[in-house]
Chains A and B, each alone.
Chain A
Amino acid sequence: MSILKKALTTTATAAALATALLASAAQAETRRIALVVKSLGNGFFEAAARGAEEAAKELGDVEIIYTGPTTTTAAGQIEVINALIAQRVDAIAISANDTDALVPALKRAMDRGITVISWDSGVAAEGRQMHLNPSSNPLIGNTIVKLAADQLPEGGDVAFLSATTTSTNQNIWIEEATKVLPNYAGINVVVTVYGDDLADKSYRETQGLLQTYPNLKAIIAPTSVGIVAAAQAVTDAGKIGEVNVTGLGLPSEMAGHVKSGASKSFAIWNPVDLGYAATYIAYELTTGKAKAEPGASIPMGRIGTVTLDENGEGAMSDPFTYDASNIDEFSSVF
């Protein structure tokens, strides 16, 4: 009897010890955070991945899986999400190609205990725990109009060159920009055209703008493909100095056009910071140190904290303006 009792106690102790060991092992286990981007091969997302790696190094026990489809399609991203669910990653931080189409796949990921956040381009609220905006939409909308207006003290005609008619980002920014127009006297928006984020179509649309609106003073392109194509079309039309191309672009891609004068200035947030912040937040949520709920403040390392609104969205920081004075410094970074 006593032998049996002793044996039992030993087993129980061993079991308890094993459990404790397993638990501590689980804690030391590295967190695998997947950074899912709109498409591979885009300079912006490559820079975000560098930021994510930086955060991973700082946090220590994090492994970054940088992935995405080769073309900017929702279908491609769903495949990627399914693969990540199968790999049992700890968190998915996604920049979405479609607001709604990804929701079922991401819901499945959350059902399996994976932390899901969206960043840059958002997913509908039911498909993620929170969304990190690079900046706030009203702020970006205001910035892109201000960039054009700063070069036009007398006012004048401006046009928007957007991505596709269904791009979540571009359409919201242009909507917000339109709201603040009354604050900029003399700035007259004549039209919004769509270059579909293709270099050739954006170039052609710009040529069309220059033909149709001979008095055009500025083209605002809040898309990195569009702004480069528009600047090239303005250069080829010999209209440098007459038509200023501005909007959102990447310093490395815009350096030549800023130097040629086709673009006086443009803005973008720092994608390195964005990848860094998304990774930091995903880590805080997956370790349970922070909770994604309206009003919550989540730390983002060196960037500060983000406060979530009632939709579970938060803004990282203001967009940053690049011009001839600082383009060289940043064009080698991203």
Chain B
Amino acid sequence: MSAFLKSREAILALAILVLLAVVASRFPGFVRPGSLANVLTDTSPLIILALGQMVVILTKCIDLSMAATLALCGMVAGLLNMAGLPLPLILLAVVVLGAVLGAINGLLVWKLGIPSIVVTLGTMTIYRGTIFLLTKGQWINAHQMSDGFKAFPRAVFLGLPVMAWIMIAIVIAAWVLVNRTPLGRAFYAVGGNPHAAVYTGISVGKTQFWAFTLSGALAGLVGYLWVARYAVAYVDIASGFELDIVAACVIGGIAIAGGAGSVAGAVMGAIFLGIVKNALPVAGISPFAQMAISGTAILIAIAFNARGQGPKGRIILKQAEHKSPEARA
């Protein structure tokens, strides 16, 4: 129990409650169930993307192209909708396209050994540019999208919109993946100790490739959700959002050096950021102070996290402990 209380997740959960309390003291309406459900729905894209980013960061990489992948897949979803394709096929198409775009990142990292930050910085620009080439800069507007296309993420099922249910399903799937499957454990192994991973027969590059493919597929799915929710698609949608995704992961205690982090952490990191984003407009805080407050909240959350930094590795060979004390780190 005390181990749980000291865990990052517990500290973060506490931080979220404190944040809610502070907001509620200024604007009580914010903590009504209906309003909180809105915040959860609004944060769903960020949660899904943070999970994708989490698996990439676990393998010691980073994916800066997620927002651009999202934008490109969202635009393609809009174009396919205008072409009259039925929604299930559009969903399939954006997930596959996202996975392919992610796989391109993965292949470049795996086969050419280029650092992921450089690869994804490049593909980020390429994917954005591709949207421009596809559309010549034209927007896709609300009246050009079919009603079914726009209504699907909004449809309410058991009190929550479909968008939130999709997020919940992905959170569960992600938990099963990273905790209960060989690939999921490989993400941790590759990021935690690449050399040891190789000795156990795990291919570092291949694992990273799958992490990128997964994050791309999730970004593709969110591309559709995003375009349908805001009922508009243009080159710049979700511009700068890649930094929010990374921030959500960092707040959630996903170690940038790889190998450490949990699904619960990523989800809570995203929720924390989502609450900050949603609360600032209603709390009547000057827009000039909003960005500074967002940044400060992130730094404070990270400072808290850093204190409880990572559980130490279990020592299997007692004799080895004395010979190499640095192995503990």
A40→B132 contact, CB < 8 A: yes
Interface residues in A229-273 (C-beta closer than 8 Å to B): 229, 231-232, 236, 252-257, 259-260
**Quick one: which of B29, B240, B278, B282 has the most chain A CB within 10 A?**
B282
- CB-CB under 8 A from A212, the residues of chain B are 27, 281-282, 284
Main secondary structure of the interface of A (DSSP, over half): helix
Number of residue pairs A-B, CB distance < 8 angstroms: 99
Residue interface mask B20-54, A partner, CB < 8 A = 1: 00000001011000010010001000000000000
- CB-CB under 8 A from A255, the residues of chain B are 141, 143
Interface residues in B280-312 (C-beta closer than 8 Å to A): 280-282, 284, 287-288
A71 to chain B, nearest CB (A): 7
Q: Which of A6-14, A18-26, A104-112, A193-201 sits within the interface?
A: A193-201
A46 interface hit (Cβ, 8 Å)? yes
B128→A70 contact, CB < 8 A: yes
- Contacts known (A43-B137, A198-B239, A199-B230); A211 close to B142, Cβ less than 8 A: no
- CB-CB under 8 A from A252, the residues of chain B are 139, 141
B234 interface hit (Cβ, 8 Å)? yes
B42→A204 contact, CB < 8 A: yes
B236 interface hit (Cβ, 8 Å)? yes
A232 to B237, CA, bound (A): 15
Chain A interfacial residues counted at CB < 8 A: 38
- CB-CB under 8 A from A71, the residues of chain B are 236, 239
A194 to B38, CA, bound (A): 20
- Contacts known (A41-B235, A228-B142); A165 close to B288, Cβ less than 8 A: yes
Question: Could you say which interface size class chain B belongs to?
Answer: 35 or more
A201 to B129, CA, bound (A): 23
A39 interface hit (Cβ, 8 Å)? yes
A313 interface hit (Cβ, 8 Å)? no
A208→B142 contact, CB < 8 A: no
Interface residues in B133-189 (C-beta closer than 8 Å to A): 135-139, 141-144, 154
B254 interface hit (Cβ, 8 Å)? no
A46→B137 contact, CB < 8 A: yes
- Contacts known (A71-B236, A209-B281, A253-B232); A165 close to B287, Cβ less than 8 A: yes
- Contacts known (A46-B137, A211-B282, A212-B284); A39 close to B236, Cβ less than 8 A: yes
Residue interface mask B114-140, A partner, CB < 8 A = 1: 000000000000001101100111110
**Quick one: which of A193, A260, A331 has the most chain B CB within 10 A?**
A193
| Candidates A70, A198, A228; contact of B141 at CB < 8 Å | A228
A208→B278 contact, CB < 8 A: yes
| Candidates A165, A232, A331; contact of B232 at CB < 8 Å | A232
A215 interface hit (Cβ, 8 Å)? no
State the A residues within 8 Å of B (CB). Answer: 39-43, 46, 70-71, 165, 191, 193-194, 198-201, 203-205, 207-209, 211-212, 228-229, 231-232, 236, 252-257, 259-260, 331
